[in-house]
Amino acid sequence: MPNNVTETILGAVVLVAAAGFVVYAGKVTGNEVGTGTYSLSAEFRSVQGVSVGTDVRMAGIKVGSVAGLELDFDSYFAVADLNIRSELLVPEDSDVKIASEGLLGGSFVEITPGASEFMLDDGDEILNTQSSVDLINLLMRFGTGE
Protein backbone atom coordinates (compact mmCIF):
# COMPACT_ATOMS: atom_id res chain seq x y z
CA MET A 1 0.00 0.00 0.00
CA PRO A 2 2.74 2.56 0.78
CA ASN A 3 4.17 2.08 -2.72
CA ASN A 4 0.82 2.91 -4.32
CA VAL A 5 0.56 6.19 -2.39
CA THR A 6 4.14 7.14 -3.26
CA GLU A 7 3.59 6.31 -6.92
CA THR A 8 0.35 8.31 -7.00
CA ILE A 9 1.99 11.37 -5.44
CA LEU A 10 4.97 11.11 -7.79
CA GLY A 11 2.63 10.79 -10.80
CA ALA A 12 0.69 13.88 -9.69
CA VAL A 13 3.94 15.87 -9.37
CA VAL A 14 4.96 14.83 -12.89
CA LEU A 15 1.56 15.89 -14.30
CA VAL A 16 1.73 19.29 -12.56
CA ALA A 17 5.26 19.83 -13.89
CA ALA A 18 4.13 18.92 -17.43
CA ALA A 19 1.21 21.35 -17.20
CA GLY A 20 3.62 24.04 -16.02
CA PHE A 21 5.84 23.46 -19.06
CA VAL A 22 2.83 23.73 -21.39
CA VAL A 23 1.76 27.04 -19.83
CA TYR A 24 5.33 28.38 -19.98
CA ALA A 25 5.71 27.36 -23.64
CA GLY A 26 2.43 29.10 -24.45
CA LYS A 27 3.58 32.33 -22.83
CA VAL A 28 6.96 32.26 -24.55
CA THR A 29 5.47 31.69 -28.02
CA GLY A 30 2.55 34.06 -27.50
CA ASN A 31 -0.03 31.28 -27.88
CA GLU A 32 -1.52 31.51 -24.42
CA VAL A 33 -4.71 29.57 -23.80
CA GLY A 34 -7.72 31.81 -23.33
CA THR A 35 -6.34 34.88 -25.07
CA GLY A 36 -8.42 36.17 -27.95
CA THR A 37 -6.77 36.97 -31.24
CA TYR A 38 -7.81 37.82 -34.75
CA SER A 39 -5.98 37.23 -38.02
CA LEU A 40 -4.57 39.75 -40.48
CA SER A 41 -2.45 39.05 -43.55
CA ALA A 42 0.26 40.96 -45.38
CA GLU A 43 2.25 40.33 -48.58
CA PHE A 44 6.00 40.92 -48.66
CA ARG A 45 8.65 40.57 -51.36
CA SER A 46 10.84 38.84 -48.79
CA VAL A 47 10.25 37.59 -45.27
CA GLN A 48 13.88 36.73 -44.66
CA GLY A 49 14.55 36.39 -40.93
CA VAL A 50 10.87 35.83 -40.05
CA SER A 51 9.38 32.47 -39.11
CA VAL A 52 6.22 31.16 -37.50
CA GLY A 53 6.12 32.46 -33.93
CA THR A 54 8.06 35.66 -34.67
CA ASP A 55 6.84 38.65 -32.64
CA VAL A 56 4.47 41.23 -34.09
CA ARG A 57 5.10 44.55 -32.34
CA MET A 58 3.59 48.00 -32.23
CA ALA A 59 5.60 50.80 -30.63
CA GLY A 60 8.05 48.15 -29.43
CA ILE A 61 5.38 46.19 -27.53
CA LYS A 62 4.48 42.63 -28.53
CA VAL A 63 0.88 42.61 -29.78
CA GLY A 64 0.83 39.27 -31.58
CA SER A 65 2.81 36.71 -33.50
CA VAL A 66 3.30 35.33 -37.00
CA ALA A 67 0.91 32.38 -37.39
CA GLY A 68 1.86 31.25 -40.87
CA LEU A 69 4.02 31.92 -43.92
CA GLU A 70 3.35 30.79 -47.47
CA LEU A 71 4.25 31.71 -51.04
CA ASP A 72 1.64 33.17 -53.37
CA PHE A 73 2.32 31.25 -56.59
CA ASP A 74 0.69 33.95 -58.75
CA SER A 75 2.55 37.02 -57.48
CA TYR A 76 5.64 35.24 -56.03
CA PHE A 77 5.19 37.26 -52.85
CA ALA A 78 5.38 35.82 -49.37
CA VAL A 79 2.09 35.98 -47.46
CA ALA A 80 2.35 36.32 -43.69
CA ASP A 81 -0.60 35.50 -41.46
CA LEU A 82 -0.48 37.59 -38.29
CA ASN A 83 -2.39 36.84 -35.08
CA ILE A 84 -3.16 40.11 -33.29
CA ARG A 85 -4.58 40.49 -29.76
CA SER A 86 -8.32 41.04 -29.99
CA GLU A 87 -8.34 44.17 -27.82
CA LEU A 88 -6.04 45.97 -30.30
CA LEU A 89 -7.79 47.61 -33.25
CA VAL A 90 -5.52 48.27 -36.25
CA PRO A 91 -6.47 51.18 -38.58
CA GLU A 92 -6.89 50.15 -42.22
CA ASP A 93 -4.16 52.51 -43.47
CA SER A 94 -1.49 51.06 -41.17
CA ASP A 95 1.96 50.07 -42.40
CA VAL A 96 3.67 46.79 -41.63
CA LYS A 97 7.37 46.10 -42.10
CA ILE A 98 9.95 43.54 -41.21
CA ALA A 99 12.41 45.19 -38.86
CA SER A 100 15.63 44.03 -37.24
CA GLU A 101 16.58 44.24 -33.57
CA GLY A 102 20.12 45.22 -34.54
CA LEU A 103 23.02 44.14 -36.71
CA LEU A 104 23.22 40.72 -35.10
CA GLY A 105 19.71 40.53 -33.66
CA GLY A 106 16.66 38.75 -34.91
CA SER A 107 13.83 40.13 -37.00
CA PHE A 108 10.28 41.00 -36.03
CA VAL A 109 7.17 42.38 -37.71
CA GLU A 110 6.45 46.03 -36.85
CA ILE A 111 3.01 47.58 -37.33
CA THR A 112 2.88 51.37 -37.60
CA PRO A 113 -0.70 52.48 -37.04
CA GLY A 114 -2.35 54.81 -39.53
CA ALA A 115 -4.84 57.59 -38.93
CA SER A 116 -7.95 56.08 -40.51
CA GLU A 117 -11.20 55.94 -38.59
CA PHE A 118 -11.90 52.51 -40.11
CA MET A 119 -10.35 49.46 -38.49
CA LEU A 120 -9.26 46.16 -40.03
CA ASP A 121 -11.43 43.12 -39.31
CA ASP A 122 -10.54 39.47 -38.88
CA GLY A 123 -9.15 38.13 -42.17
CA ASP A 124 -8.36 41.54 -43.71
CA GLU A 125 -5.08 42.33 -45.45
CA ILE A 126 -2.65 45.12 -44.58
CA LEU A 127 -1.77 46.64 -47.94
CA ASN A 128 1.16 48.93 -47.04
CA THR A 129 4.15 46.64 -46.52
CA GLN A 130 7.93 46.90 -46.48
CA SER A 131 10.04 43.78 -46.82
CA SER A 132 13.13 42.87 -44.88
CA VAL A 133 16.41 44.44 -45.89
CA ASP A 134 19.16 41.97 -46.74
CA LEU A 135 22.16 43.49 -44.97
CA ILE A 136 24.73 41.46 -46.93
CA ASN A 137 23.36 42.60 -50.30
CA LEU A 138 23.17 46.17 -49.05
CA LEU A 139 26.82 46.12 -47.95
CA MET A 140 27.90 44.51 -51.25
CA ARG A 141 26.12 47.23 -53.23
CA PHE A 142 27.78 49.90 -51.09
CA GLY A 143 31.19 48.26 -51.52
CA THR A 144 30.95 47.89 -55.30
CA GLY A 145 29.36 51.30 -55.90
CA GLU A 146 26.28 49.93 -57.69
Q: For 12-67, write each residue's pLDDT tens digit.
A: 778 888 888 777 776 665 555 556 999 999 999 989 889 999 999 999 999 999 99
The segment with the largest mean pLDDT, out of 39-43, 99-103, 127-131, is: 39-43
Residue 18 is predicted with a pLDDT of 81
Cα separation, 5 vs 117, in Å, equals 63
**pLDDT of 11 over the 60 cut:** yes
CA-nearest of 38, 32, 49, 22 to 86 is 38
Record the pTM: 0.69
**pLDDT of 82 over the 80 cut:** yes
